[in-house]
Amino acid sequence: MKKRGLIAFFLVTFFALLTQIYFADEGMWPISEIHKLNLNAKGLEISPDEIFSPSDLSLIYAVVQVGATGSFVSPDGLIITNHHVAYRPVQAASTKEHDYVKHGFLAKDRSEEIPARGMTARITESFRDVSGEVLSVLKEGMDRVERTKAIEKRKKEIVARTEKTNPGKRAEVSEMFSGKSYVLFLYTHLKDIRLVYVPPRSIGEFGGDVDNWMWPRHTGDFSFLRAYVAPDGSPADHSLKNVPFRPKRFFQVNANGVNEGDFVFMLGYPGRTYRHQTSHFWAYDEEVRMPYVVDWYGWQIALMEKMGEGDREIALKHLSRIKGLSNTMKNYQGKLKGMKRLGLVKTKKEQEKALQEYILADKDRTERYGDLIKKMGDIVEDMRERAEYELILNYLGRSALLTSLGCTAYEASIERAKPDLERESAYMDRNFSRTKQRLFLSLRNYYEPTDKAILKEMLQRATHLPEELQIPAVTAIIKDKGPKETIETFIEDAYSRTKLNDEAVLKNVFTKSTEELMNMKDPFIQLAADLYPTNLLKKEADKARKGLYDQLYAQLLDVKQEFLKTDFIPDANRTLRLTFGRIRGYRPMDAVYYKPVTTLDGVLEKSTGEEPFDTPEKIFALYKAKDFGRFAHPDSKSLPVCILYDMDTTGGNSGSPVLDACGQLVGVNFDRAWEATINDYAWSASYSRSIGVDIRYVLWVTQKYGGVDYLLKEMGIPE
Amino acid sequence: MKKRGLIAFFLVTFFALLTQIYFADEGMWPISEIHKLNLNAKGLEISPDEIFSPSDLSLIYAVVQVGATGSFVSPDGLIITNHHVAYRPVQAASTKEHDYVKHGFLAKDRSEEIPARGMTARITESFRDVSGEVLSVLKEGMDRVERTKAIEKRKKEIVARTEKTNPGKRAEVSEMFSGKSYVLFLYTHLKDIRLVYVPPRSIGEFGGDVDNWMWPRHTGDFSFLRAYVAPDGSPADHSLKNVPFRPKRFFQVNANGVNEGDFVFMLGYPGRTYRHQTSHFWAYDEEVRMPYVVDWYGWQIALMEKMGEGDREIALKHLSRIKGLSNTMKNYQGKLKGMKRLGLVKTKKEQEKALQEYILADKDRTERYGDLIKKMGDIVEDMRERAEYELILNYLGRSALLTSLGCTAYEASIERAKPDLERESAYMDRNFSRTKQRLFLSLRNYYEPTDKAILKEMLQRATHLPEELQIPAVTAIIKDKGPKETIETFIEDAYSRTKLNDEAVLKNVFTKSTEELMNMKDPFIQLAADLYPTNLLKKEADKARKGLYDQLYAQLLDVKQEFLKTDFIPDANRTLRLTFGRIRGYRPMDAVYYKPVTTLDGVLEKSTGEEPFDTPEKIFALYKAKDFGRFAHPDSKSLPVCILYDMDTTGGNSGSPVLDACGQLVGVNFDRAWEATINDYAWSASYSRSIGVDIRYVLWVTQKYGGVDYLLKEMGIPE
């Protein structure tokens, strides 16, 4: 395609897109904003006060953050979330004899519920703006690093003070617009979460990586958990004396579900979006960061798949990591395709051009903002130059488990020696046990040949960095011999001598001082020590960059707000948000229409008998008998399985309740359509569609397949 | 999936399918049958007599066989067919300086038209049933080979006699139901065909192998040719003295096209279907033949793609073969998927079971037909046992060009020594020059390293055949050394010594006697001589098998007809057929609907700037200007590109006219949807959809892109 043709085409598409972006129902709205939305005019049939008002009865108290999102669906702390959100604890609880991933898990009564290891639950209790208090620490003449550090310190102080006056609660200061606005959230934090009912992966993960990020979808991606507290109602670690948590509010389940065109809304904890970033930042992601990650994750997946060939046990060890890597990789591939197809960077550049014209049209504005966009571009230019170096440094310390163990242990010894408030977040008292727990869980799936191959590849990539960006720790390994043989020798020696992969040793490691650690003479502690100064320099550089960027970013928002005469919604940041829309299909390409409700027919059509399409025989029998109970779709003779809607979601919204006009639960959100992976950058009325499992399928599987009638009773489903 | 579940599922699907197969508008109807169809009740608005009656004005005279199918669209012999049907002659006419494949071909007036090398055109003139005359040669006591040979000979006699009394015409006796009914067709045979207008491959082959067999489709798969005859109107070889052929009838073009739901019908020359074959035969295709071909073609494609890497000229040499192999491979893959999904073999088995019950319910029937189905199964059982041997023997003589040249030359020397009527068809006087021409055209794309690698692989596969099926010619190469080294030595030696790849030598070869050939001492003649006795044995075995099979097959049809109380339509056999249906979308899977008309929007959506999605800049400009002339779709603001319909087609229908209720041309058929590749075995109302290029796109491209206004005028398109 010739350039001029391309441009012509994009101009057409992009004006269409512009219209959509600015006039459609985009938005992950902070709870503080929902009263501005006029939701009743949009289709909501209850008062917005029911969703949130400072009363104790608000629906927001039925929403729970469990890594991603979940919902209370009974007065006894019953939580519904996604199968994939509960995947790690289910895997951790599985043994050769009891493979809960494969066969699912069912507690016949509460005494049979087992701990969901590593899982906690947070409930948003309250929030208030603390921007003034945070920004008051900034003083004239502070340099960039000082600015960042001062803000970080003030945030920690506010958190510490709040938690002190609210014993048992967790506090967090979230950056809404970085450098500009900050909100203090107070959370109830529950630590005893248990598995109640988890369908087998042939239902809960039906379609696997093949269908991931795809519509039409047929995945029963749900699980039931339960939160427990001490008999006095306070959050407590797991104990048999604990009693079910009684949430302030839980969602009524509407067993009739919703249908095409119905109004729906969602509450949840979306993770991260970049909608307010500049075109330079988007271009960096599109041209540099995401292609690198896609390549590196793809390399690791190929390696792990090869390692697992012909040995089911080794393959199982890699399963969870492959799942994680491939999830991100496919997401990025979708984003890259979408960004290109919609010409997002071009669109953003046009917007910035218009903004720049607005700035230059006024002398005062020119003085204040004239070189703002250029300066922000310069920062990204610097990021581009150092991108490969920074990516390699990052993955060198993270991708192989043993370097990750070594680096964490070494860094812990240094950070833990500081006063709590001055430590990096992962090493603060409130987070440290979780940091360690994650490492111990990873160790369960450790497989030496894979770990060696990953480290080897990363070291080799590091040797190809330009002269001036060589990493001293890597240079030390290569010394004066050729890179290939010395890397291999180093790896063979290091893996044969290390003790860090011994769980008993690892436990002790986190109590040692830096000196004691070094005395262990462990090669991965040594490597960590060699990498530490380089990482420290990088962290300082990051802070300097953030200090400057945040300052500019705040100015950018000011002038954009002035220009467009509108308020903005902050980018997603793992705080509670509301989004709304309708059950709606879409046109993924010319002459194709995707309907917004899939059925059990599709499950059977896709079933091949082989993973990930290995539907259990009982489902076939129920299908043949047309035994859909009360859950059949009114328009069809089949059973709804998944639903599609044009709400605005991103990662972190997994497990979020899909709620009907009356605020009753009709589905559990779990994914986006391939074309909607671009949500992180821009929302599109044509393409932004998210996917939930239909409550009718959840209830049908639970009752007819799982035989767990008591859960339907507990949720108050009429018979 | 457990077996019982699968069966349950298939039972459901397959009863649904049964209903569809027997009650929907399946059928590639012989022209002799169309008066039984009540086409006016189905939607035809002209009299069926207009399509065919013994008058000279029938529409069938506007249909022409050019390899596949084409249509006369002007009184001056202008033919429209597919781009891919004209591909070989366009490629053959291309040079480095004039790449007509890439840039397209345009004759600004008739003097600029150039020969379409290797292309001829046949028009069905008349037909009559000759079953009695053919079958009268069968005598009691003939063995199976004798039966087959006697029928072949009688068919040749009828052809020779008919051609003698109809000078300049071609005759053909076509087996309608093998062993049962035969029809004599008389054809006008035109030999001077020229290229008129061929769009560039970026339009005519848009989507390439990626989109092949797929809907939604956006390919402008059409070309214009013209047929010429001697000044006296008789068929003649190419000469500048020739004049345009004046067909008895040509199609009016309807520039308004058709829309969703409209009645359409088609005339054409479908190649081969297997609907009346037994379940054993289908299972053999599904389990043995097609998987082998998919594997072998896939191997060759991978090889050729590797050979062409980094060298455009070498890549170009492989293009046409890759295209052909990949077309068949993807078709078979679609069939394999469809046969499995619809459980076709199971369906057929159930039908045979019902038939067998009917047979056994009557003593007389039991006597005549009791073991009929079993006997037919036994023949296929024998085919299965010898399958790999026969496939390898076949590809050994065909896949590498030099073995193909050697074998053809050697066989020619033997066959050409016999009286004309006793020769294998390819070596009869009427066909021999075409046989040679095909080889010479192949030689243009010869690339030694590819040819060597293919022969080597085939020889190696041959060495793995079971002891008792070893091929003596291969055993002779291996002798007593290990297979690997001797095969390599043989190949190096043979390719260094052969002269067959020299066009001048090759021309002489076909005039030599067997003895003269052997005296050449060419290694590929020697290999052909070594393979010849084995091939001869295989041919005799084939004839014996056919002799028996045809006999049983005729009986099977008799009893099936008796059982189902219905007439059958013969399987497709390259004779003129009619099919009808409607412009209709379909549901390829749960929650997805394919609409039956694509638009130019989709062309632009798919365009990436890289082959096969490299839309010309001018198309972008026309799109931007919304310059759709009079061809825009009435319901939309865009231009229709391709149409989808539920007519019953197969290979050979390429280029067939899609005709509206008034018998006017509204499209040119060129493909089937992926799900419809199973048409060769069974027609399905849900999945059997074929694809045509919309006449509005044809005319728009011709006028607005090609600037060939005179062609629109010639076709009588109002301005």
From residue B79, alpha-carbon distances to A134, A415, B343 in Å are 79, 82, 41
Task: Compute the distance between CA of residue B464 and CA of residue B138 in angstroms, rounded to an integer.
Answer: 41
C-alpha pair distances (Å), B542 with each of B147, B280, B290, B476: 12, 17, 19, 25
HSE-CB for B353 with a 13 A CA cutoff: 6
User: pLDDT class for A690, splitting at 50, 70, 90?
Assistant: very high
Contact B605 A590 (CB under 8 A): yes
User: How many Å apart are CA B150 and CA B155, to the nearest integer?
Assistant: 9
User: What is the reported pLDDT for B25?
Assistant: 62
User: Which among B71, B174, B189, B221 is annotated as catalytic?
Assistant: B221
Give B409's pLDDT tier (boundaries 50, 70, 90): very high
As a whole number, the mean pLDDT across chain A is 92
Q: Hey, which residues does B714 pair with through a beta bridge?
A: none
pLDDT score for A341 = 80
Of residues B317 and B593, which shows the higher confidence score?
Answer: B593
- Average pLDDT over every residue of A601-626: 95
| B221 annotated active-site | yes
**Residues B16-30: what's their mean pLDDT?**
57
Q: What count of Cα atoms within 13 Å lies in the side-chain half-sphere of residue A16? A: 12
pLDDT at B710 over 70: yes
Q: B591 and A599 in contact (C-beta within 8 Å)? A: yes
Q: What is the pTM of this model?
A: 0.85
> pLDDT-derived band of residue A484, with 50, 70 and 90 as boundaries?
low
B240 in A contact zone (CB under 8 Å): no
| Average pLDDT over every residue of A582-588 | 95
The CA distance from B623 to B638, in Å, is: 9
Kindly tell me if the per-residue pLDDT of B615 is higher than 90: yes
Q: What number is the average pLDDT over the span B442-456?
A: 94
Find the mean pLDDT for residues A41-63: 91
Report whether B195 contacts B89 (CB < 8 A). yes
Residue in A with minimal Cα distance to B11: A624
Nearest CA in chain B to A618: B5
Quick check: is A84 catalytic? yes
Where is average pLDDT lowest: A16-25, B72-81, B580-589?
A: A16-25
Contact A531, A473 (CB under 8 A): yes
B207-to-B215, B217, B612, B614 alpha-carbon distances in Å = 11, 8, 5, 9
Query: Average of pLDDT values for B576-584?
Result: 96
In chain B, what are the domain boundaries?
A: 54-253, 277-371, 386-571
User: CB–CB of B609/B692 below 8 Å?
Assistant: no
* Chain A residues closer than 8 Å to B605 by CB: 341, 589-590
Q: How far is it, in rounded angstroms, from Cα B453 to Cα B302?
A: 12
DSSP for A646-684, please give it: -----TT-TTPEEE-TTS-EEEEEEEE-GGGGGGGT---
The shortest CB-CB distance from B590 to any of A2, A601, A624 is to: A601
**Selection from A9-13, B26-30, B169-173 with the highest mean pLDDT:** B169-173
User: In whole angstroms, how large is the CA radius of gyration of chain A?
Assistant: 26
- End-to-end CA separation in angstroms for chain A: 61
Q: pLDDT > 90: what percent of chain B?
A: 80
Task: For residues A494-520, give the mean pLDDT.
Answer: 94
Would the pLDDT of A15 be above 90? no
B242 Cβ under 8 Å from any chain A Cβ = no
Q: Is the confidence at residue B87, as pLDDT, over 60?
A: yes
Q: Name the residue among B1, B605, B619 with its Cβ closest to that of A615.
A: B1
Residues contacting B691, CB < 8 A, separation 6+: B215, B217, B642, B643, B644, B669, B670, B671, B672, B673
Burial class (CB in 10 A: 0-12, 13-18, 19+), A132: exposed
Chain A CB within 8 Å of residue B614 CB: yes
A607: nearest CA partner in chain B: B1
How large is the average pLDDT for residues A86-113? 92
Q: How far is A82 from chain B (nearest CA, A)?
A: 22
Q: Which residues on chain A are in Cβ contact (under 8 Å) with B619?
A: 5
**Chain segment A257-306, per-residue pLDDT in tens:** 999 999 999 999 999 999 999 999 999 999 999 999 999 999 999 999 99
Q: Is B625 on the interface with A (CB under 8 A)?
A: no
* pLDDT, position B23: 36
pLDDT at B387: 95
In chain A, the percentage of residues whose pLDDT exceeds 70 is 95
Nearest to A198 by CA among A129, A114, A126: A114
Question: Residue A79: beta bridge partners?
Answer: A72, A225
Q: Which of B354, B326, B343 is nearest to B283 (CA)?
A: B343
Are B49 and B669 a contacting pair, CB within 8 Å?
Answer: no
Of B12, B601, B609, the CB nearest to A624: B12
Q: So what's the pLDDT on residue A25?
A: 63
- A604 contacts chain B (CB < 8 A): yes
Residues A705-719: tens digit of each pLDDT: 999 999 999 999 987
Using the predicted structure, report yes or no on whether residue B139 has a pLDDT greater than 50.
yes
Grouping H, G, I as helix, E, B as strand and the rest as coil, residue B490 is helix
pLDDT of residue A483: 67
CA torsion sign, B256 to B257 to B262 to B265?
positive
Contact between A711 and A205 under an 8 Å Cβ cutoff? The reply is: no
Q: Find the CB nearest B591 among A5, A597, A623.
A: A597
pLDDT, tens digit (0-9, with 9 covering 90-100), for A335-355: 998 898 888 999 999 999 999
DSSP track, B533-588 = HHHHHHHHHHHHHHHHHHHHHHHHHHHHHHHHTS--PPPP-SS-EEEEEEB--EEE
Residues A605, B591: C-beta atoms closer than 8 Å:
no
The residue-averaged pLDDT of B109-125 equals: 95
Amino acid in the structure at residue A554? A
Q: Is B215 on the interface with A (CB under 8 A)?
A: yes
* Separation of alpha carbons A23 and A397, rounded Å: 44
Residue B54 confidence (pLDDT): 79
From chain A, pick out residues whose CB is under 8 angstroms from the CB of B592.
216, 592-595
Q: Which two tokens stand for residue B656?
A: 């067939």
Beta bridge partners of B583: B645
Subunit contact A12:B624, Cβ cutoff 8 A = yes
First to last CA, chain B: 61
Rounded Cα distance, A353 and B659, in Å: 53
> Residue B653: its pLDDT value, please?
96
DSSP state of A606: H
Task: Name the pLDDT band for B438 (thresholds 50, 70, 90).
Answer: confident
Region class of A27: left (phi > 0), else alpha (psi between -120 and 50), else beta: left
Alpha-carbon gap, residue A139 to B467, rounded angstroms: 91
Nearest to A595 among B216, B585, B593 (CB): B593
Q: Say if CB A39 and CB A663 are below 8 A apart.
A: no
pLDDT over 90 (residue B480) = no
Mean pLDDT of chain B: 92
> In whole angstroms, how far apart are CA A391 and each of A112, A281, A383, A387, A470?
45, 16, 11, 6, 13
Mutate: best of B1, B7, B599, partner A, most A CBs <10 A: B1
User: What's the pLDDT tens digit per position in B332-381?
Assistant: 999 998 898 888 999 999 999 999 999 999 999 999 999 999 999 999 99
Q: How far apart are alpha carbons B177 and B329 in whole angstroms?
A: 28
pLDDT, one tens digit per residue, over A119-166 is 999 999 999 999 999 999 999 999 988 999 999 999 999 999 999 999
Model confidence pLDDT, tens digit, residues A526-549: 999 999 999 999 999 999 999 999
CA A286 to centroid of chain Cα atoms: 19
CA A41 to chain centroid, in Å, comes to 32
Spell out where A553-633 has E strands: 577-582, 586-589, 592-594, 597-599
What residues of A are in contact with residue B11 (Cβ under 8 Å)? 624
Query: What stretch of H or E contains A264?
Result: strand A263-268
The average pLDDT across B60-77 equals: 97
The pLDDT, as a whole number, for residue B13 is 43
What does the block give as tokens for B565? Answer: 């109380």
Query: Would you state the pLDDT for residue B155?
Result: 96
Report how far apart, in Å, the C-alpha atoms of B596 and of each of B188, B583, B685, B691 are.
36, 6, 15, 9
List chain B residues with CB under 8 Å of A594.
Answer: 591-592
pLDDT for position A482? 62
Altogether, the residues listed in chain B come to a count of 719
Going by C-alpha positions, the residue among B688, B716, B717, B656 that lies closest to residue B270 is B656
| Mean pLDDT score, B4-31 | 52
Catalytic entry in A654, A656, A688, A690? A654
Tracing tokens 């938690």 back to the chain, one arrives at A163
Q: What is the CB neighbour count within 10 angstroms for residue A547? A: 21
B590 → chain A, closest CA residue? A602
Q: How far apart are CA B246 and CA A543, in angstroms?
A: 83
Distance from CA of A594 to the nearest CA of B (A): 5
* CA–CA dist A78, A252 (Å, integer): 12
pLDDT per residue over B175-222, tens digit each? 999 888 999 999 999 999 999 999 999 999 999 989 999 999 999 999
Tokens coding B683: 């027609």
Chain B CB contacts of A604 below 8 Å: 9
* Distance separating alpha carbons of residues A191 and A168, to the nearest angstrom: 11
What amino acid is encoded at A280 in this protein?
H
Residue B304 pLDDT more than 50?
yes
What pLDDT, in 10s, does the model give residues B624-643? 999 999 999 877 679 999 99
Whether the bond between B216 and the residue before it is cis, its omega within 30 degrees of 0, is yes
Chain A residues in contact with B590 (beta carbon < 8 A):
216, 218, 598-599, 601-602, 605
CB contact under 8 A, A216 and B6: no
Q: Which residue's structure tokens are 């002007």?
A: B74
Amino acid at B442: S
Chain B residues in contact with A583 (beta carbon < 8 A): none
Is residue A633 part of the annotated active site? The answer reads no
Please check the confidence at residue A20 and state whether its pLDDT lies above 70: no
Rounded CA separation B638/B12 (Å): 41
- Categorize the per-residue pLDDT at B481 as very low, low, confident or very high, splitting at 50, 70 and 90: low
* Minimal-distance CA residue of chain B relative to A260: B591
Least CB–CB distance from A1: residue in B6, B215, B609: B609
Q: Which of B58, B71, B74, B84 is catalytic?
A: B84
Q: In this structure, is the dihedral angle defined by the CA atoms of residues B142, B145, B150 and B151, taken in order, positive or negative?
A: positive
Beta-carbon separation of A598 and B591 below 8 A: yes
Q: How confident is the model at residue B719 (pLDDT cuts 50, 70, 90)?
A: confident
pLDDT over 80 at B437, yes or no: yes
